[in-house]
Structure 1
Amino acid sequence: MWNKIIKATNALVVVLCLIGLANISLAEAREKGPKKAQMLQTELDPYFETLAKSNRFIGEAAIYQSGNELYHTTIEPDGEQSILTDKHYKYKVGSITKTYTATVILQLIEENRLSLDTKLSEYYPNVANAGAITVEQLLTHHSGIHNYTADADFLTYHEKPQSKTFLLDKIESFKPDFNPGEKAQYSNSNYLLLGYIIEDIEGKSYQDVLLERIIEPLGLDDTFVGEAIDPENEEAYSYQLAEKWNEIPEWDMSVAFSAGAIVSTPEELDRFISALFKGKLISDSSLKKMINIENGFGKGIFETKYEWDDKELQGYWHNGGIEGFISHLAYYPDEDLTIVVLSNGLNYDIRAIYNVMLDAYFEQDFDTPEFGKAVEVPVSELEKYTGKYESKTHPLDITVSLLGNKLYGQATGQGGFPLTPLGEGRFEFAKAGIEIRFDDNNNQFEIKQGGRADIFNKVEDTVEQESVEVPIETLKQYVGIYQSESFPLDLEVMIKDGYLHAQATGQPAFPLTAVSQYKFKFDMASIVIEFRPEQSELTITQRGMPRDMYKK
């Protein structure tokens, strides 16, 4: 998935299993037409109304079967609330772009203008290991090329136009993450390079190639390579919830390019994915190569299965995330069924949403979630939940920590996530659909995500905090807004509830733990900040990259 770089705490626990399903036959599920559409509206409208009222999702969701729209809803921000409407918008779809890019590459291979075995060195020999990296390895994320959007300085340039030369220089400067073919690891660099190869072969822009090969043949009037968002063209902005929905700053789409720059609609995504699987864009033999999965990766596509009893329905999907846009496109060939979720503001688990849409289509029972409101919990109450927990049914341990006056969870090897208290020992991390209920009498908690529940038992009573006491008068010296010519975002430092916090423009605030009178850290994002109050400046270091900032 296109990484959502601008979030400070951007890691989930793990992808958990799909909801178990009751018995049905495929024939029974194939009721189509107006009756099916009415049933879906009856089942799904209350679900999406709940998401809207709780500000969990804005965007569009749709179900198509054999080209017919069986369900569609739009949720828009409206001040501090969200409302259902019948409007249609165009959304940045992020890494779903990769499926389009892979399709063009396979078309070029069919025309004998390229091959899966073509070496990257034929086009870009200065990339590390270019002589050993094949086009196939770029398509399947087996190249070992470092992901440019995960690089420490990405946030310094992602909102400004960038040339091909600039981005190539970035990629060519990276050391490889692993040897080509050694394993698979998602990297946007692969698909940026594939887009450049397409332009080199065709002698045209990536946008013009898409127009000629996909957009015009399929009559896709609302699909294009994005530029600056144009609301007069019904293009949606993306949002982040902070009491109300606030617009998120835009990336410059030259940076996303062939790895994530396409804008489209639910209906046109259905037409694209359906045409792809029906032989209108590539041959059957190319499609088989595309959906051949190696180490979890196809060529610009992934596989999934919808299961019930002893039956299963094979599906294929890609998702995307850019700015505040989160997207999901899935197609089930045997049912000619497409599920589309395009969100421009999400405070919930998108997997839970499309699983419910599948359940509704196949007439399976599902629960409409009940969302509580955040409550204030004393720090003394939160402290008793801290510690290290392990489970007999889950492969990862989870550490619960108290930073400032907020509880955080962190699974082994992953980033931390904030836990919002709902009362009576209940907490949630809404963006991942995680619910936790603590039972402090038995030193355990139950965690629910995606229909799965696991019990974790405490193995350590406390989490050691490397923290020192800093007088409030000293903290006040650090308060202010800091800026840097080499960094596009301001950093505001503030005191909340007696503790120092920092907040980059458009992002959530995060607590800072003191390790000395001048030095603070936020472990869950690998951030260290060192203040120099005499010079009214600080140095912020993240993942080993320092940056000086000056107080306004």
Structure 2
Amino acid sequence: MLRPLHSLLVLPLLWAGTALAQTAPASSINKAKLDSLLTILDTNHKLAGSLQLTQNGQVVYSRAIGPEQAGVPATTATHYRIGSISKTFTATMVMQLVEEGKLKLNAPIATWFPTLPNAATITVDHLLHHRSGLFDFTHDPAYVQYMTQPKTQAELLAIISAQPVEFAPGAKYAYNNSNYVVLSYLVEKLTKQPYAQALQKRIADKLGLKDTYYGSRIDSKKHEAASFMWDGATWQVQRETDMSIPSGAGAITSTPADLTRFIEGLYAGKLVKPATLQLMQTLQDGYGKGLSLIPFGSKQGFGHFGSIDGYRSALTYFPADKLTIAYCGNGVASGYSVNDLVIGALAIYFNKPYPLPDFSGPTLTAAELSGFVGEYASSQMPLKISIMAAQNTLVAQATGQSPFPLTAKSKTTFVYSTAGITMEFDAVAHTFMLHQGANHFLFTRQ
């Protein structure tokens, strides 16, 4: 299933941390610690995938963990579906067409898609910034029934058109896969080519991307990874979305090495002009044109996250440091996320204190976890924290931040080691004490 996931905030600390150290020379990167992190994730079946870090065009770290196919280990040459990172490719091609004078950002989409609701007032720019108000077809209750079957453009446009709009064009931001599917169709209309050919000609050929292409049915002979979910005992193969459906919103296959070449080529002016790139980075409610701001402490990166079926991906470029981090994955489990991996890899790269995750601890029942669920507040700080139960663990979410998983260290103590957070619960008093570094806060359930 194509999930409504784009770029996550890469430092979910509850308060501002200290400034990061200056960029470490490649020779001083603690590769052993980064290896230890991936080994822990592999041993505990938390993620399966491939990670690469590149500084100033030089690969400083590259490793794959987990299976490529059942019984076949992944390598750094394994190909993965990248989900919504495809949107950055689509936005790049749209902006190329703008540069060529074939398209205007303020053009109403009624010119090409007159049957879509509000087509006369929705512009190309609204689609790029997820501000169209169109219905997201992945929210269609029937989506899970047809996601594995081919769909034509006409059929998908009809599905989008059949539902009422969610808001007036430009009124607000709402991440929406329909926006980039429509943009994909627009690329095809203006280039007079299938999306796959436009991708090859406009991006892959220009940058020499040998392993980036429009996906089709998974082919193990091409070292294409199946997608998995860890069920507590084995990696279970997930359903396979038919690639006629996500199009330029999520249908591209690639590798971390090619994703790195793509975003570095984008920032080097090989795909669009610097002024156009600046437009792509201009944010509205945190989202640009196929790019999001992804901060890490005082550092600013730009990129995108992706998710489809069991695949997860992340791509971020830090211009000031000439650093790229790229991850393509095909296996997920409860209690950890790609966002956590990115935090850990960046913390290790920048020589920031970072405790390796520890997944040892007791297994709690649903009844035991339910005693901790609720919304908590503290008189010591304005932040509220919601505690939820999910898949035999707890998940916490602070006001305005992304949710993060907690690992049980005892029946009442939970940790989020990525951010150095410990929570000690008292189910009778309906409180927890939060510890992070030298800070200690008492939270009470409301």
TM-score under structure 2 normalisation?
A: 0.87
Matching of residues 410-421 of structure 1 within 5 Å: none
Name the residue aligned to 2:170.
181
One-letter code aligned to 1:3: R
- 1:212 matches 2:201: yes
- Checking the alignment, whether the CA contact within 8 Å between 2:12 and 2:402 is kept in structure 1 is no
- 1:203 matches 2:192: yes
Gaps in structure 2 of 5+ consecutive residues: none
Name the residue aligned to 2:87.
98
Q: Provide the rounded CA distance (Å) in 1 between the counterparts of 2:372 and 2:290.
A: 42
- Checking the alignment, whether the CA contact within 8 Å between 1:58 and 1:82 is kept in structure 2 is no
Matching of residues 23-62 of structure 1 within 5 Å: 26=22, 29-32=23-26, 35-36=27-28, 39-62=29-52
Q: Provide the rounded CA distance (Å) in 1 between the counterparts of 2:314 and 2:101.
A: 32
Q: 2:236 aligns with which of 243, 246, 264?
A: 246
One-letter code aligned to 1:231: S
Name the residue aligned to 1:321.
307
Q: For 1:62, what is the secondary structure of its paired residue? A: strand
Name the residue aligned to 1:154.
143
Gaps in structure 1 of 5+ consecutive residues: 6-11, 460-552
Q: Provide the rounded CA distance (Å) in 2 between the counterparts of 1:437 and 1:14.
A: 25
Q: Provide the rounded CA distance (Å) in 1 between the counterparts of 2:312 and 2:90.
A: 19
| Structure 1 residue 387 displacement after superposition | 5.4
Q: Provide the rounded CA distance (Å) in 1 between the counterparts of 2:3 and 2:260.
A: 24
Q: Are residues 122 and 249 of structure 1, via their aligned partners in 2, closer, same or farther at CA, if it must alter by over 3 Å?
A: same
Name the residue aligned to 1:351.
339
One-letter code aligned to 1:326: R
How far does the alpha carbon of each residue in 1:294-327 deviate from its partner, in whole angstroms, 9 at most, with x for none?
A: 11110000012333xxxx3321010100001111
- 1:131 matches 2:95: no
Identify the structure with the greater strand proportion. Answer: 1
How far does the alpha carbon of each residue in 1:90-142 deviate from its partner, in whole angstroms, 9 at most, with x for none?
A: 11000000000000000001111001011111011111111111101110111
Name the residue aligned to 2:357.
369
What percent of counterpart residues are identical? 32
Q: For 1:334, what is the secondary structure of its paired residue? A: coil
Name the residue aligned to 1:518.
none
Name the residue aligned to 2:268.
278
One-letter code aligned to 1:127: L
Q: Are residues 454 and 239 of structure 1, via their aligned partners in 2, closer, same or farther at CA, if it must alter by over 3 Å?
A: farther
Matching of residues 385-400 of structure 1 within 5 Å: 385=372, 389-392=376-379, 393=381, 395-396=383-384, 398=386
One-letter code aligned to 1:112: G
| Structure 1 residue 252 displacement after superposition | 0.3
| Structure 1 residue 24 displacement after superposition | 5.6
Q: Are residues 97 and 400 of structure 1, via their aligned partners in 2, closer, same or farther at CA, if it must alter by over 3 Å?
A: closer
Q: Provide the rounded CA distance (Å) in 1 between the counterparts of 2:400 and 2:52.
A: 35
Q: Are residues 55 and 118 of structure 1, via their aligned partners in 2, closer, same or farther at CA, if it must alter by over 3 Å?
A: same
**Range 14-23 or range 235-244, more displaced:** 14-23
- Checking the alignment, whether the CA contact within 8 Å between 1:426 and 1:435 is kept in structure 2 is yes
One-letter code aligned to 2:316: A
Q: Provide the rounded CA distance (Å) in 1 between the counterparts of 2:408 and 2:230.
A: 17
One-letter code aligned to 1:457: T
Q: For 2:247, what is the secondary structure of its paired residue? A: helix
- Checking the alignment, whether the CA contact within 8 Å between 1:144 and 1:180 is kept in structure 2 is yes
- 1:426 matches 2:413: yes
Name the residue aligned to 2:292.
302
- 1:257 matches 2:247: yes
Greater Cα radius of gyration, structure 1 or 2: 1
Name the residue aligned to 1:66.
56
Q: For 2:98, what is the secondary structure of its paired residue? A: helix
Q: Are residues 316 and 2 of structure 1, via their aligned partners in 2, closer, same or farther at CA, if it must alter by over 3 Å?
A: farther
- Checking the alignment, whether the CA contact within 8 Å between 2:358 and 2:417 is kept in structure 1 is no
| Structure 1 residue 51 displacement after superposition | 1.2
Q: Provide the rounded CA distance (Å) in 2 between the counterparts of 1:246 and 1:104.
A: 36
Name the residue aligned to 1:457.
444
- Checking the alignment, whether the CA contact within 8 Å between 1:118 and 1:134 is kept in structure 2 is yes
How far does the alpha carbon of each residue in 1:154-176 deviate from its partner, in whole angstroms, 9 at most, with x for none?
A: 11111111111110101111211
Q: Are residues 270 and 455 of structure 1, via their aligned partners in 2, closer, same or farther at CA, if it must alter by over 3 Å?
A: farther
Q: For 2:165, what is the secondary structure of its paired residue? A: coil
**Range 234-243 or range 12-21, more displaced:** 12-21
One-letter code aligned to 2:12: L
Q: Provide the rounded CA distance (Å) in 2 between the counterparts of 1:426 and 1:337.
A: 36
Q: Are residues 249 and 105 of structure 1, via their aligned partners in 2, closer, same or farther at CA, if it must alter by over 3 Å?
A: same
Q: For 1:371, what is the secondary structure of its paired residue? A: coil
Q: Provide the rounded CA distance (Å) in 2 between the counterparts of 1:17 and 1:162.
A: 42
Q: Provide the rounded CA distance (Å) in 2 between the counterparts of 1:166 and 1:172.
A: 10
Q: Provide the rounded CA distance (Å) in 1 between the counterparts of 2:402 and 2:53.
A: 34
Q: 2:317 aligns with which of 322, 327, 331?
A: 331
Q: Provide the rounded CA distance (Å) in 2 between the counterparts of 1:137 and 1:322.
A: 24
| Structure 1 residue 153 displacement after superposition | 1.5
One-letter code aligned to 1:224: Y
Q: For 2:320, what is the secondary structure of its paired residue? A: helix
Q: Provide the rounded CA distance (Å) in 2 between the counterparts of 1:453 and 1:151.
A: 44
One-letter code aligned to 2:52: A
Which one has more relative contact order, counting CA pairs under 8 Å at least 6 apart?
A: 2
| Structure 1 residue 238 displacement after superposition | 1.0
Q: Provide the rounded CA distance (Å) in 1 between the counterparts of 2:364 and 2:187.
A: 55
Q: For 1:423, what is the secondary structure of its paired residue? A: coil
Q: Provide the rounded CA distance (Å) in 1 between the counterparts of 2:384 and 2:72.
A: 36
